Amino acid sequence: MSVIDHILGPRLEPDLVRKHALRFGLPGFFLLAARVLLLVSLFLPYWQLELHAPQYPDNLYLIAYVNHLEGDVAEIDTLNHYIGMRPLEEAARIERSLGVYILIGFVILLELASYIHTRWAVLLVLPALTFPGVFLLDLYLWMRHFGLNLDPEAPLSTAIDPFVPPVLGKGAVGQFETIAMPGPGLWLSIAASGVLILALYFHRRAYLPLLRRQKEQSQKEQGN
């Protein structure tokens, strides 16, 4: 067996596919569903922050997509300036510049995974599967870095101690209250991760018996 065959796994005979259409169709269906969810998520917010303060009766909002920020960015930056926090646009510049390409890369990897009938498919699925957690971890690290490295020369630096803004849920800084929540894009990527777990389950269920049979046949041929 060649290296390529070892990675791609057994090829399916048309008669076998027709006979077990559901068995061999489910992995590809779930991989397709995950690709669609990730592509749609590109156009939706991944994270949202709502800021409450007495002087802002309508509140302030920050909306983060994978490649840009929207909402009351300038106003929030002005408030952050007084406590010594850096402008929001300085956070995750590389991540935002690559965000769209990363998600498209995930879609391509999932497309390739649909042609692999061995455990190597897991390596192609894993990046998209873990993406929601990686996104939140990266966001947390940036928020932590900004909150713990305040400018000591800022006008209100003595009034605010360094802090770690919450990535999810409620937080408070002085008279301000924040509510951070996942955006619909992140929810779709989480749903894609759930769908990918199903894809891997049905992938194993479909192809593992064939791989075992192929291995047994190879061992018999070597024995002869």
Tens of pLDDT, residues 103-136: 999 999 999 999 998 889 999 999 999 999 999 9
Query: 61, 51 in Cβ contact below 8 A?
Result: yes
* pTM for this entry: 0.90
Is residue 84 domain-resident?
Answer: yes
SS3 112: helix
Position 201 confidence tier, pLDDT thresholds 50, 70, 90: very high
CATH number of the domain residue 189 falls in? 1.20.140
Has residue 40 been placed in a domain?
yes
Contacts of 214 (CB under 8 A, 6+ apart): 10
- Helical H segments across the chain, by residue range: 3-8, 14-19, 21-41, 73-83, 93-113, 121-148, 184-223
> Quick check: 47 and 169 in contact, CB under 8 A?
no
Question: What is the arithmetic mean of pLDDT over 167-185?
Answer: 93
Closest CA to 47 of 136, 131, 129, 160: 136
Check whether 142 has a pLDDT greater than 90.
yes
In a domain, 224, yes or no: no
Tell me, yes or no, whether 222 lies in a domain: no
Residue 223 belongs to some domain of the structure:
no
Query: What distance in Å separates the CA atoms of residue 136 and residue 147, rounded to the nearest whole number?
Result: 16
**Does 6 fall in a domain?**
no
pLDDT of residue 223: 60
Task: Please state, as a whole number, how many other Cβ atoms lie within 10 Å of the Cβ of residue 107.
Answer: 19
How many domains in the chain? 1
More confident of the two residues 219 and 203: 203
**Tell me, what's the pLDDT at 7?**
77
pLDDT by residue (tens digit) across 54-94?
889 999 999 999 999 999 999 999 999 999 999 999 999 99
The helix/strand/coil state of 54 is coil
Helix, strand or coil, per DSSP, at residue 173: strand
Please give the residue range of the domain that contains residue 95.
12-217
Q: Which two tokens stand for residue 140?
A: 């947390």
Sign of CA dihedral 128, 130, 134, 137: positive
Q: What is the CA radius of gyration of the chain?
A: 24
- Domain membership flag for residue 2: no
Distance CA 21, CA 26 (A): 8
- Tell me the torsion sign for CA atoms 151, 153, 155, 159: positive
Q: What is the pLDDT of residue 15?
A: 78
* φ and ψ at residue 117, rounded to 5 degrees: -110, 30
Say what the pLDDT of residue 9 is: 74
CA distance 41 to 67: 12
How far is C-alpha 121 from the geometric centre of its chain's CA atoms? Answer: 18
